[in-house]
């Protein structure tokens, strides 16, 4: 159970913040950036759920995802360790499998896509595409943290707080964010199907093409 009795703490006024294992790090740490972007993706999904006018089955799916994203952030903020006093939340392969099943389910009735599409159409689709792009950024942040810290726990017998080498990052966090961005693309398409379909990209903005042998 989480109890938040006071929101401001003043503990970050020197440019550092606490990770999930109570160690402190710079607010520019790639690990922190990854879970901050994950939080932003969740906020963007909140707009889609609240204002997008999406069908009930899509809303139910997204509300599950919003809970998952909190867990993704909890995972990213907690360095991997060989042992824990209290085992932290970790992303599981099952969650990624659920996203892939959702992709298959919602993509089944969509027409074949033969062009790139533009974000827009209905409010729901626009919000979903916004959430998709933020999720892609969060994924890049997760990979940046993985590149810096690796995917291995702190040294055997040491907690992450005790280790000289910070523990790594669970790679399933990045995989989850990747699959989620795929799902949001599909849902963005689905949200437009009853309102005229996809908004298709027109190369050159639909402008007439100039002849290659035209004379000035």
Span between the terminal Cα atoms of the chain, in Å: 73
Number of structural domains the chain divides into = 1
Q: Assess if residue 69 is contained within a domain.
A: yes
Q: Which tens digits make up the pLDDT trace of 166-187?
A: 789 999 999 999 999 999 999 9
30-73, pLDDT tens digit by residue?
899 999 999 999 999 999 999 999 999 999 999 999 999 999 99
Q: How far apart are the C-alpha atoms of 127 and 215, rounded to whole Å?
A: 45
Any domain includes 211:
no
Report whether pLDDT(97) > 90. yes
**How much is the pLDDT for 13?**
54
- The set of residues, in sequence order, having a beta carbon less than 8 Å from that of 94 and lying 6+ positions away, is none
Instruction: Please write down the HEC assignment for all residues of 12-58.
Output: CCCCEEECCCCCEEECCCHHHHHHHHHHHHHHHHHHHHHHCCCCHHH
CA distances to 2, 7, 99, 100, 144 from 93, rounded to whole Å, are 25, 33, 10, 11, 21
Residue 197 lies in a domain: no
Q: What mean pLDDT do residues 191-210 have? A: 86
Domain for residue 208, yes or no? Answer: no
Show the domain range for 50. Answer: 27-111+120-192
pTM as predicted: 0.85
Does some domain include residue 97? yes
Burial of 164 (0-12, 13-18, 19+ CB in 10 A): exposed
Residue 19 lies in a domain: no
CB 122 within 8 A of CB 171: no
Residue 93 belongs to domain with CATH number? 1.20.1200.10
Question: 111-153: per-residue pLDDT in tens?
Answer: 998 889 999 999 999 999 999 999 999 999 999 999 999 998 8
Residue 199 lies in a domain: no
Q: Please indicate, yes or no, if residue 206 is contained in any of the structural domains.
A: no
Binning pLDDT at 50, 70 and 90, where does residue 1 land? Answer: low
């Amino acid at each position: 159970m989480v109890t938040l009795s006071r929101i401001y703490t003043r503990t970050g006024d020197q440019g550092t913040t606490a990770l999930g294992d109570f160690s402190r790090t710079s607010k520019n740490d790639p690990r922190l950036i990854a879970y901050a972007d994950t939080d932003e993706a969740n906020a963007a999904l909140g707009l889609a759920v609240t204002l997008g006018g999406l069908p009930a089955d899509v809303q139910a799916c997204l509300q599950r995802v919003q809970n998952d994203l909190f867990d993704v952030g909890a995972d990213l903020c907690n360095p991997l360790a060989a042992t824990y006093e209290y085992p932290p939340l970790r992303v599981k392969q099952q969650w990624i499998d659920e996203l892939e099943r959702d992709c298959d389910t919602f993509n089944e009735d969509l027409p074949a896509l033969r062009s790139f599409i533009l974000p827009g159409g209905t409010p729901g689709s626009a919000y979903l595409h916004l959430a998709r792009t933020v999720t892609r950024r969060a994924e890049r942040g997760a990979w940046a943290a993985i590149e810096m810290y690796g995917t291995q726990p702190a040294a055997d017998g040491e907690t992450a707080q005790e280790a000289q080498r910070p523990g790594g990052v669970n790679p399933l966090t990045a995989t989850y964010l990747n699959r989620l961005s795929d799902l949001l693309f599909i849902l963005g398409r689905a949200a437009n199907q009853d309102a005229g379909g996809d908004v298709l990209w027109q190369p050159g903005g639909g402008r007439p093409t100039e002849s290659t042998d035209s004379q000035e």
